[in-house]
Structures are given as C-alpha cells and as structure tokens.
Amino acid sequence: MAVKDKVTTVFLVLMASAVVSAYPPIVRVKPQQIHISYWSSPNQMMIMWSQTDRSKLSIVRYGINGKLTHEKRGNSTAFVDGGIWQRTQYMSTVLLDDLVPGQTYTYIVGNEYEFSDEHMFRAMRAGQNWSPRLAIYGDMGNVNARSLPRLEADAFAGMYDAVLHVGDMGYDMFEMDGKLGDEFMNQIEPLASQLPYMTCPGNHEERYNFSHYRHRFTMPGDEGKMYYSFNMGPVHFVSLSTEFFFFWYYGPMQIYQQYEWLKQDLKEAASPENRSKRPWIVVFGHRPMYCSSTGTDDCTKHESILRKGIPFLHMFGLEDVLYDHGVDLAIWAHEHSYERLWPVYDRKVMNGSYDAPYTNPRAPVQIITGSAGCRENVSGFIKDPADWSAFHSMDYGYTRMHVLNKTHMYLEQVSDVKNGQVIDKFTIIKTYHGPYDKTGKQRAPDLPEHVKKAAGIVSPQRKRQK
C-alpha cells in the first residue's frame, strides 16, 4: 500500500468514528413485557414493565371510559443478568392506588420519551360477596406454550379475574443472557397485561438465586422473599416457594423463615373474624407433596420432603401445617400432567363421605396442574396409583377455578389436546371451614426456642410484643 493510501485509510477511519460519535447513542426505552399484579387492597394494582435503557421517569396514564385522565409515577431499577455479558435492563414498577373497585380501566405505560399501546384491566371487586374466576397452571415455557392461545382467547372473552402461574415460567428465563425470559414475558403480555398475573417460583427459575423471578415479578408483600398472601373475594390465597427445600444452598434459613411466616399467616387468616369473612384458604406452590407420576421426583416418595419436611429430622413439612389450619385446597405443578386427589392426610383418604367425597372433606383437597406446555414432554403415570389418586391425565391443559360463594368452589380441567374439552370437574362444598381435627390432637410441631434462636428466627408473636 502506498503511503498516500495509508493516510487516506486512516483519515477515513477517523472521519467515520467522528461521525458516529457526533450522534448521541440511541435510546431504547420502548416499554416491553407489560404485566400487572394485585396489591394489598382492591383500590390498588401494581403495573410492571421492562426497558432496554434507563429513563428518568416511569409513568402510567390511566382512566375509565377509555380516557387517560390519571397519571402515576413509579420507580425503575436496573436488573443485571448473571451471565457473562451482564446484560442489563430496567424494570419499572408503578403502583396505582386510587382505583375504584370493580371498575375497568384503560392504561398506557411509558417514560419521558415513549408510551406503550393501550391495555385494559379491571380493578379487584371489593368485599367478599362475589365469585372470583381464575386460570391456573404451571410449567408453561416459551417454546411449547400449548395452553397460551386458548388462555388468551378465554381472557379476551372475559372468563377470568386473575391468573395463577404455579412456577416454571420461561424454561429458563436466564437462557441466552435473559433474552429467553424477555421473549417469554412478551409472549404472556396479552394475558398478563389485562389479568393480574400471580406467581410462585419453580425449579426452572433457580438460576442466579432466582434473580430473574425476583426482578421480573413483583408480588404483594413479597419484597423478594418469594412467599406472600393476598385476599380475593371470599378467598385467602397463599403463595409459597417449595424451592427453598431443594436449592437450600442459597440459604437454608429461608426454609425456616417461610415455615414460621406460613404458620403465622394461616393463623391470622383462620382467626374467627377473618375466616367468617373469607372462609376459603387456598395454598399454591410449585412442587407437590403427593403424585402418581413415574420417575423419581420428591412427590413419588413415601415421605416426600414437601410433606414430611427435611430428611431424618422431619421438620418444616407442610402437610401438618395445611391440615392444622384447615386449608381447603392446595394447588401444585412441576409434574407435567394433571392429577386430582381425594381429600388426603398422611396418605389416608379422608373423604367427606363415600358418595360425596368433596362435601365437607376431612382433609385438604389437592390438585397438580403442570401441563400448560413445557419443553420436556408430559409426565407419565405409574400403573397402580395409590387410593388417594382420584383422576389423572397427560393431556396438555390448564385449570379453571370458579369460587361460587362461601360454600361452593368449582374447578375444571381443560384439555388442549382435545381442543378445549373439559376432561375433569368437581365442586368442593363446605358448610364448615376450619381445622380438620377439632380435638386439636394433631398439631404441627412448633420449633423449640433454642433451635429458633440458633437459626436467628424471631417468632412473629415475640416481634410484635417488642
């Protein structure tokens, strides 16, 4: 190359970089992944979304009759993925707290540069005398989200008030430096931007200490703990992390802390004034304590960890807690199938009566609904399920819940393989809601004080006295 050519090349390169830096960097603040969740009262709704770049403001404009008459501002926090590229995005949270219960709102979200398209939601109805309808499922994922089209169609037809996603979201949200999670969140946006999308963590959210789960979902009273409860009409819902038992190396204290919190929360929900107002108590978490699946999951074990607690010590098991507080229904997923159990306690069937097993059952009713998609195929069933197993299906699908009133709760299972056909339905009827063993003989063991002290646990009662 002649000297002149070299000089020309250098000159061109310098010019090119000068041109590039003469422009400000592109600002990428289009709101994405818009979703909502209930908060602590029917006047409130939490609105969340993500942006590639930081903006000064996080704004929601909203109002009734299609008019965006109100505005609220909130916060944006950087979420750094744990992968080698440390991909960063900005998560906005804006709490609307002046809603009229039961009212339908139109809203847009955005910042000082750009706003989203319009979305709509309905604020929670006030009081207890209404009939919540929910879509419930786990294990959906991105590449095989079988139930999503039908769920969206149902939602647009106004069939639900809210969604429970019982863990295992985007298989796995951390993959491709979190781009898979972004894709999943955008995929569920049509559903999750109109219906409160209430969640619990599953094993596929585990990576980087559940940081994708924690940053992408903001649940009422959760504050990153990954367990919380909320009230909806005549129901008290409790969301748990079953994953503390299996990813204990992220912090075994979380098992104790959740257990203590759960007992306290259920005690309060089951107090006479609360229970007469909101008689139904429904607990949901990702991994079941019973299942009839093939394979070696915890729920296939005679004494599963979820049911009986940590091995050998048998501490922090959930079955006694649910039984003692008269929990009406427990919902799990993780098994890629649907299974309905007869009322069961300690592996014994506790039918209300032989002819009407779900009328005043003598133990909690449990279902497993983990067949909304996933990329690992459906789970098979063993040939001879135990006698607590009432019905099972390997069809992809999801559950619909309709809490008719304080005595009747109806559930049905939809099959996506059979084009939306309802393949199972049952009604729990309770004229009495409360602890199952009225004699009080079978109590969940309380932790000895010295164990609590060693674990750094201050029991909630003591804390309150201070």
Ligand X SMILES: *[C@@H]1O[C@H](CO)[C@@H](O)[C@H](O)[C@H]1NC(C)=O
The residues of the shown chain that bind Fe ion, judged by CB under 5 A, are 168, 202-203, 334
181 binds, among ligand X, Fe ion, none (CB under 5 to 8 A by kind): none
95 binds ligand X (CB under 6 A): yes
Smallest gap from residue 167 Cβ to Fe ion (A):
6
Q: Are 123 and 102 in contact (CB under 8 A)?
A: yes
202 binds, among ligand X, Fe ion, none (CB under 5 to 8 A by kind): Fe ion
Tokens representing 226?
């990954």
Instruction: Look at the chain and count its residues.
Output: 466
Smallest gap from residue 334 Cβ to Fe ion (A):
4
48 binds ligand X (CB under 6 A): no
Among 65, 354, 450, 461, binds ligand X (CB under 6 A): 354
27 binds ligand X (CB under 6 A): no
By three-state DSSP, how is residue 274 classified?
helix
80 binds, among Fe ion, ligand X, none (CB under 5 to 8 A by kind): none
By three-state DSSP, how is residue 289 classified?
coil
Interface residues for ligand X in 256-315 (CB under 6 A)?
Answer: 265, 268-269, 274
- CA pair distance 74, 58, nearest whole angstrom: 5
Stretch that binds ligand X, among 19-27, 87-95, 110-118, 172-180 (CB under 6 A): 87-95
By three-state DSSP, how is residue 273 classified?
helix
By three-state DSSP, how is residue 61 classified?
strand
Q: Which is nearer to ligand X, 57 or 155 (CB)?
A: 57
Tokens representing 148?
């999503």
- CA pair distance 161, 124, nearest whole angstrom: 8
83 binds, among Fe ion, ligand X, none (CB under 5 to 8 A by kind): none
- CA pair distance 8, 23, nearest whole angstrom: 23
What residues does 121 pair with on adjacent strands?
A: 105
Element (H, E) at 465: helix 460-465
Q: Are 184 and 192 in contact (CB under 8 A)?
A: no
Q: Are 80 and 88 in contact (CB under 8 A)?
A: yes
Among 138, 201, 357, 364, binds ligand X (CB under 6 A): 357
159 binds, among ligand X, Fe ion, none (CB under 5 to 8 A by kind): none
- Count of CB atoms within 10 A of residue 256's CB? 19
94 binds ligand X (CB under 6 A): yes
186 binds ligand X (CB under 6 A): no
Smallest gap from residue 277 Cβ to ligand X (A):
6
Q: Which is nearer to ligand X, 21 or 377 (CB)?
A: 377
Among 63, 74, 82, 385, binds ligand X (CB under 6 A): 74
Smallest CA-to-CA distance from 299 within 288, 314, 312 is with 288
The residue count for binding ligand X (CB under 6 A) is: 29
Q: Which residue has the tokens 């009133």?
A: 405
Binding region for ligand X (CB under 6 A): 74-75, 93-95, 209, 224, 229, 231, 236, 250-251, 265, 268-269, 274, 342, 349, 351, 354, 357, 377-378, 380, 387, 404-405, 407-408
